[in-house]
Structures are given as C-alpha cells and as structure tokens.
Structure 1
C-alpha cells in the first residue's frame, strides 16, 4: 500500500509528480524576480545546502519563498543544522544515512513532528563504503524502523547513483519494499545535454511503476535548466499541470532569423511574467516560410521569418506582417501576452 507524505503544501504519494530543483548559490544571491521565475516555470519544491546560515537567515529566506514553493534543507551530518532549519520553518530536511548516526535522530524526529515537517532519507551511492544491495537495504530498514517506532511517517525516500542500470534496480527495490513516496533522479548526471538524456531514460522506465513522486534533473548548470527539463518531461507524458510548450525549427541556411535568439526571448518573457501551471498554450517559432507556416498552423501563436520580415499568426491565421525586428518583437510579445491572459482565467496567480 502506498503512503502519503507532505512537504509543505505539496502532497506526495497521490499519483501526481512534483518538480524539484536545488539552489546552486548562497541564498542571499537570489532576487525576488529569480525566485518567482523558478515558480512560474513549474517548480514545486526547492532544496538548498545549509552551511553556516543562522536560524534568522534561513527563516527570512523561508518567508521569501512562502507563496512560491516549500524548502528542503540538505543536511550533511550536523544535528545543529537540522535543528536550525526546522526551527526556521523549512518544510523538510534531507538526511544522508551515510553521514548520520541513528542515535543523533531523536531530537530531530521530535522537532520535525512538532513542525509537521517531512524527512527525506536520501542516499547518494557515492557516499557509501559498502554499495551492495544488502548494505543499502539495511540503511533504509534501520532508518525507516527508527522513525516508525517514533510514530513519524512523514517520510520521503531516495537513493541515487550516477549509473543508469544501478539507479533503476535500486529504486525499484526500495519503492516496492517500503511504500513511501520516492524522490528520483541521477546524481553526477552531467551537463544539460548528457543529463537530459540519461535522466529521461531512468524516469521513463521508473514512471511505469507508479512509484515516482518527485523528480530532479541534476544538471551541471542552472536551476532553470533543471526545472525546464523536468516540466517538459512531465508535459510530454501528459503528467504536467497544463500543456505549455514552445516549439521551434532546427534552422537551416534558409532561416531568415536567429530562431534560438527568438526562442530565448519568448521564454524569458513568459517565465518572467506568467505562471504556466494549468496553461494550455503552444507557441511556434519558425525560421522560414517553406515548411514553417504549415508546421506552425496548430500553434496558438506563431512567427515565421520571411525574406521581407516576420509573419505573426494567431490560431493558424495571419495576424500581421512586420518588417522591422524591434516592431516585430513588440507585437509578438503583445500577441503572446494576450493569448496567455485569455487562457489564464480561473488559474491561480501571485
């Protein structure tokens, strides 16, 4: 029987899959706009690595994120870090059994229970001396038994490896054995291209088991890249909240515009200004009219570069032709904005 856990307002174990990422810089480096942008892109949970931040500093950041996403504090062997994080209002903490003794967990468990916070038992295989199946199972057996004996069951489990086959095998094993919500991903996954391929292969296999509750694309790059990959994975499978997509041609010598540049411009405009949750909208950016017009005719808003400028389409019909790039950008953004607002009625906005 599957169990339910809660990380703040995010329910895990009910069949939905939450998108998670991790802050790559100190908390003070993030502006309100950058936090809102991550939320707008579809991020549900954010994790951060705690070091010497004070309880007040953590509490201040928790408040900044209150209306956006719950925070998970990543603890590495320090009871004081866990206590500071929980007292500051973090919705969950992540403990690695490889560097925590069970005897250290009493005060943490009691405080997490008082604060209705979740605890993620998260093993990175690379941190273990003994990486055998039996050793990993023993870790989880010991920790889960400890928490359950204290009547604490707001748990999330994860075990990550950098190896594709190993990740599949051990996640199936843990998911079937314990029934708690699972956080899934690869560790040391690589840059955006490598991670996107390897992580997607893992998730495609494991999502069939129905035991994926929260995912992360671990990328040697920005948080935004991680969230974007995760959203697109879930959207493609029909598991995302909404169906927002930007499609663009791969470009060739006929291209009358820099499609990649326009793609970035549109992404930046949308994610800076709109929450895509529940939004059903397709945008198309095509470099020439040879195939672009037909390929983009099912898009809500499309642009095709032409020899004389740019053609903007709305619901497959020509809206206008524009010669100047600056005029085009302004009109295209306005058209996209109007389309989003028309579809945003009834959706939550902050």
Structure 2
C-alpha cells in the first residue's frame, strides 16, 4: 500500500502567526489546546494548583478570569508560577486589562467595542504593546451587540462576523495586529457557519469553540462535531472544549479531537472494541483502568485493546502494543504489530502499563539520541 493517503490529508487555512507568550499561534504552528480555570482568581493557591493539573494534562495556554480589582491584585503571582502562558479574561472594565498586562498576562481576552471610548481602547493597546501581550477578541452569540440584534433580528453568522470585524477594526485603527478571534455559539450550525465565513474574510488566527456545549459526554459530542468539522476543513489555530467539567477534562478531550484527526500526537492513542459476548476479558473496565493509569504518558504511541481474535490481530498490526482476549484467561500480546507472548488475566493490567511505560521510555531515548547526534554533527561542521 502506498504511504501517501490523500484521503487523510488536511490542508490548514493559511493564517498569520502571533505569539501568546512563548507559544506560537497560527501559521504552521501546532494547533494549541486551551482551557480556563474555575477557581476564584483571588485564591491564588487554588488557582495555581488547578493550573498545575491542566499543565500535567497537556494544556498549552490557560485563561484566568479577571473581573475585579481583587482578582488582579496578586495576578503576578499566578503568571510567575505558571509554566504556560496566561490569558487574562477581562469582562468590561478596561482597567483590569491594564493591570493584567502589567502583571504578566501573555494575552488579554477583551472585546474592544465593549470597554467604552476610543481612548480606553488606546490605553489597552499601549499596555498590550508595552508588555508584549496578544489580544483575543471573543464574539459570542449569546452576547451580541444590541444594534446587531436589531439589524439581523437574531444571532446569525452574518451578525457574528460583523461583530468580529467591528472589534478588529478598533484594534487596527490603533495599529495593533497581534490578535486572534473567536465567533462562538452553542448552536453547532451557527458556530460552524460563522467560522467558515470569518475564515474567508480575515487572515488572523482563529480560536475555535462551541460555547456552553454541556456536560462531559454531551459537550464532548457537540464540540467534536462542531470543531471536528472545522478542523477537518483546515480552519482553526487554537481550541477550547467548553464543558461543564473540570478544566483538565477539557484539555484531554481537546487532545483526543486533535489526535483523531492526526493534528496532534500526545500520549497514548487507545484503539478498543465496544465489547461483546466473545470477549475474553472485561474490555470496558480494562480500558477505563488503562486510560486512568496511562494519563502520565506524554510520548505519542498507540495501544489496541480487543476482546477477541475477530478484529484483534488486524488492529494490533497497526499499533505499537496490542492485546487480544483468549480462552482460559490467557491473552495474546503484540509488540510492533507482531505476536510476541501471552499474559494471564490476573497480570494483564500491570503488564500492559509496564509495556507502555517501557516503550515510551525507548521512544524518548531514541529521540534524545537523535537530537544529540544532530547537535554533535553541527558542532563538528
């Protein structure tokens, strides 16, 4: 079979690149995964602890609410403690933007048209430029400007796009171009149509989201349909999965969406069957346990967990490590697609975890050796 698979190719929209702290967004940079803290920002310790959990889950960027003076009073402690860039979420008071910019925010989430006069916009732009901050414009169907609702009668793609362009112009009028834009809606059709229209109109990076998507299961499905279709079309430079769940869950779902489209490769990609009466072990509980115990693995690799030999060998040929259920509590283990050895039911979980950890360490060691070899070659030259 040819290694070229055109039906798997996603041609990303060409956008210009901006920097959010030390993370590039847009252009040919990897699509970043974002989330947002839900702790009171005034509780610095709790906020930092939550940021740590999100970092461990793989978050590239994290947003923190800054609605009050108290929330920005110790904001610098949060930005200093974080290992990833912080987006300060400013609601309507422009002074919070000035304070957050001065205290280490890498990006300001603020809609210029919502903070009052042109003078206030100019102040925010000056603070952003002075501190190397980007700005994210966030248009939401649930909070469209009154004049646009009167003009269009209801939230629609044209209204979201016009709102975004109005906010963009306010920044461009002050010679500010380090911005990214979102046009979110909880209605999948509305959000997708708005993003398609905006993508054809502007060249800035686009932040994707289906807002107020719902709980862990419903919100994951809704976000996957909406953002997945956009990403498949090449639209989107950074994403947030908006769930009524813990922020680290949003990060994990975000990576699963990107991994399913081949756009990011972080951690273990599990291929598993839905289980049936043929299964030689409890597939559902096994996969649940493995997903929990392998969360710490950051190295990209694949694992197939199949309950029987109907599809098991075929799936195992395509994964780094595989296991298929057998009779009498004895199961076949595959390494690099080849049958290798058996494992007993009682030892299976620990054995698979050990195999994955070992394989991840081997991949990392090989990657480090390759980098060292290249460095040595460059020095020699």
TM-score (norm 1): 0.84
CA change 1:50–1:176 in 2 (3 A) is same
- C-alpha distance after superposition, 1:106-137 (max 9, x if no partner): 22211111111110111111012334366545
User: What pairs up with 1:162-311 in 2 under 5 angstroms?
Assistant: 162-207=186-231, 210-241=234-265, 244-272=268-296, 274-276=297-299, 279=300, 281-289=301-309, 291-306=311-326, 307-311=328-332
1:75 corresponding residue in structure 2: 90
2:4 corresponding residue in structure 1: none
CA change 1:81–1:309 in 2 (3 A) is farther
1:21 is aligned, of 32, 35, 42, to 35
Report 1 or 2 for greater relative contact order, CA contacts < 8 Å, sequence distance ≥ 6.
1
- C-alpha distance after superposition, 1:55-98 (max 9, x if no partner): 463222222322xx211121111223222321221111111457
TM-score (norm 2): 0.78
Stretches of structure 1 that go unaligned for 5 or more consecutive residues are: none
1:328 aligns with 2:343: no
CA change 1:155–1:169 in 2 (3 A) is same
Q: 176-185 or 289-298: which moved more?
A: 289-298
CA change 1:86–1:262 in 2 (3 A) is farther
Stretches of structure 2 that go unaligned for 5 or more consecutive residues are: 1-13, 372-381
2:9 corresponding residue in structure 1: none
Instruction: Please report how far the alpha carbon of residue 310 of structure 1 lies from its aligned counterpart in structure 2 after TM superposition.
Output: 4.7
Q: Secondary structure at the match of 1:252?
A: coil
1:87 aligns with 2:107: no
CA change 1:178–1:259 in 2 (3 A) is same
CA change 1:208–1:266 in 2 (3 A) is closer
Q: How far apart are the structure 2 equivalents of 1:31 and 1:269?
A: 24
Q: Decide whether the 8 Å contact of 1:217 with 1:230 is kept in 2.
A: yes
1:338 aligns with 2:358: yes
Q: How far apart are the structure 2 equivalents of 1:137 and 1:102?
A: 22
Instruction: Please report how far the alpha carbon of residue 270 of structure 1 lies from its aligned counterpart in structure 2 after TM superposition.
Output: 2.8
Q: How far apart are the structure 1 equivalents of 2:185 and 2:225?
A: 14
CA change 1:194–1:126 in 2 (3 A) is same
2:339 is aligned, of 292, 297, 317, to 317
CA change 1:323–1:55 in 2 (3 A) is same
CA change 1:14–1:232 in 2 (3 A) is same
- C-alpha distance after superposition, 1:119-169 (max 9, x if no partner): 011111101233436654553344322222322111111111122222122
